[in-house]
Amino acid sequence: MDQLINGRRFWSAKEAARYLGISTGTLYGYVRFKPKTKGEHRVSAPPFRRIGRNCIKFPIAEFIEWANRFDTPAQERK
């Protein structure tokens, strides 16, 4: 079950991008990530829920855990 943080379960793309210190375009790039990509890219996509055709929300607790799981993309491959 989703965990409530400050009375909310989900962040908008803008809030999630602000947490990471990146643009929303970069965050959407992470969402569209294909695992076969090589190089210094993240291996896993951030946790998200698609709500309708044009709306993506990020579960706060899972997103924070994903963001803090590894310091560098190379560590994530292990």
Task: Answer yes or no: are the C-beta atoms of 3 and 9 closer than 8 Å.
Answer: yes
Cα distance between residue 66 and residue 43, in whole Å: 11
Band of pLDDT at residue 61, cut at 50, 70 and 90: very high
Band of pLDDT at residue 31, cut at 50, 70 and 90: confident
Band of pLDDT at residue 39, cut at 50, 70 and 90: low
Domain coordinates in residue numbering, the chain: 10-76
Work out the average pLDDT over 59-70. Answer: 88
The reported pTM is 0.71
